[in-house]
Chains A and B, each alone.
Chain A
Amino acid sequence: MVMRLNDEEQDILAGRCGPVARQALQHQLKVGEFFGAEDFVPVTQAHIMADTESLGEAGVRWLEGLAAAADGQARVRVPTITDPRGTDFAKASFLGQTSTMLELERRAISAFEKLGVTMTNTCINYQTIQAPTRNEHVAFGDTGVVIYSNSVCGARSNFEGGPSALAAGLTARTPRYGFHLPAQRRATLHVRVECAPSSLNEWGALGGVIGRLAGDYWAVPAIEGIERPPRSDELKHFGAAMASFGSVALFHLVGLTPEAGRLREVASADLPSHRVVRDDIDALHHSYRADGLVDVVVFSAPQLSLYELRDLAGLCEGRRFAVPLLAVTSPQVKPDSDRLGYTARIEAAGGTVLSGMCFYQSYAREIAEANGWKKLATNSTKLVNILGGYGYSPMLASMEQCVDAAVSGKLT
């Protein structure tokens, strides 16, 4: 299908707005026509995932080429922010990252800044920068950001990978397909939850189980049985895991999330239906248990909120860690964590608080080799799903169990 372009879009495509905007629109046309988009929809915000492990030298050169072509003129046209970087420069030597990695990061940051991108370096922008509102069309990267924004905020976004999110920032629009369309937001499966998750790892595991059931980007679960309004951090882990295990971008919690006051508002009566029980959550946990020995404890993916850091600081009181414990947060939360004494309490126990990165986006394979980290304990269901591919033996447990493991070197 050939997309319908308005006068402004035709001007961009003809190069009358410069070569960078034209290149961005050409990329968006390829994607939009692949998915049968009829036209573009204006967006108000963009969020770019662009760690340099993903970009590599080729991606950084591509960015630098755009920045050079822009020549200080073509810059993003809507607020455009960034997902975590591939390092915390202040802690890079502790992580065992090389000067080559850091130089690549610096070059990427410089190119983004020339394009007018705001370096927020966070995957919890809905908690820290500006949450989108219902029906607000946005172009967000990071699957955890998209699923939270779509589901909890009622905003409209597809998964926008880095090149497409940057293109949306440069053109202030994105192809209208997928979750920008009301019909695509209706449920495709019904899930009844017959257990009550309590800890963040249990919320994540529940999300992971539902993600596996859905199993596809275009699947939209309508979920019943969640009896109390979850907290933002609970839905953060729930959604991030669902997106990670199933590539899911939208869920509805009946009676809780904005588009699903009642089941019939988002679902027809004949949807395939599934039950999730306590055994399903336990089975997912057990599938990520090795012999219990732990090389490193990591809290990350998504970055920790101030409340999570407060809880972690409380658990670190009076403890002394035998293995490294890493807590990763955003540059927006870190100053408050410092000011309120949470960072000092975590680090007094031997932990390290990092900012502006995410563990799996920070050369996870290389830092494992540099530090001898293989057996990793975390309360992030998203993280255990990712790290198997990086050579780790990840283990999933509660924040309390993970802190105990940092003290004893063993997860019990």
Chain B
Amino acid sequence: MIATARIFRARQSMGRTVRGHALVAQDGFSARYDLDRIAGVFCRPGHKLAGQSYVGKILILHTAKGGVASAWMLHEMASRGVIPLALVLNSVNPILAQGAALADLPMLAGFEDDITAAIPDGSEVEVNPGKSVLTLIT
């Protein structure tokens, strides 16, 4: 890890360690409301990531939105491999935690600072739920 790495501690964590590129927005997340789950892109008009692919990205967003469907949908997305690599949020609701548990999707939530402002879009990050930390690598 290079010397400029910065570490952000999460209050809530789940899953295995992964490393990848961040897709960042100060916006919400709901699998039903926001995603074209077949194409693997954000499709909700007005969402700050509309048109962008989330597949294989570490999604860094503000908060969970919407209904309960994400609890099933993350599992279904995982079965086809059309899913983010991990979810990182300032605040998470039970649905996303339940969905991540079923889908075996790494997740961090609850930071001292606004994590969507701290992590530049496109940067390389590591999600380490075992240590409850997000590391900004480059």
Contact = CB atoms under 8 A, between A and B. Distances in A.
Interface string A142-160: 1100000000000000111
Interface string A216-229: 11100000000000
Given A161-B72, A161-B94, A34 B13 contact: yes
A25 to B, nearest CB: 12
A51 to B, nearest CB: 8
Contacts of A178: 94
Contacts of B95: 159, 161
Interface stretch (B1-9, B62-70, B119-127): B62-70
A54 interface: yes
Interface residues of B, number: 39
B12 interface: yes
Contacts of B75: 58-59, 62, 163
Contacts of B64: 217, 247
Contact of A59 (B72, B91, B93): B72
Main secondary structure of the interface of A (DSSP, over half): helix
Interface residues of A, number: 42
Interface string B91-103: 1111101110110
A88 B118 CA distance: 48
Interface in B70-92: 70-73, 75-76, 78-80, 91-92
A215 B71 contact: no
B34 A389 contact: yes
B43 A34 contact: no
B21 interface: no
Contact of A216 (B63, B67, B72, B101): B63
A389 B73 contact: no
A141 interface: yes
30 contacts: A31-B94, A31-B98, A35-B97, A54-B76, A55-B76, A56-B79, A57-B79, A59-B76, A62-B102, A141-B68, A143-B66, A143-B68, A159-B93, A159-B95, A161-B70, A161-B72, A161-B94, A162-B72, A164-B71, A216-B63, A217-B91, A217-B92, A218-B93, A247-B65, A247-B93, A386-B33, A386-B66, A388-B44, A388-B45, A389-B35
Interface of B: 12-14, 28, 32-35, 43-46, 63-73, 75-76, 78-80, 91-95, 97-99, 101-102, 107
6 tightest A-B contacts by CB?
A: A161-B71, A58-B79, A56-B76, A217-B93, A54-B72, A30-B101
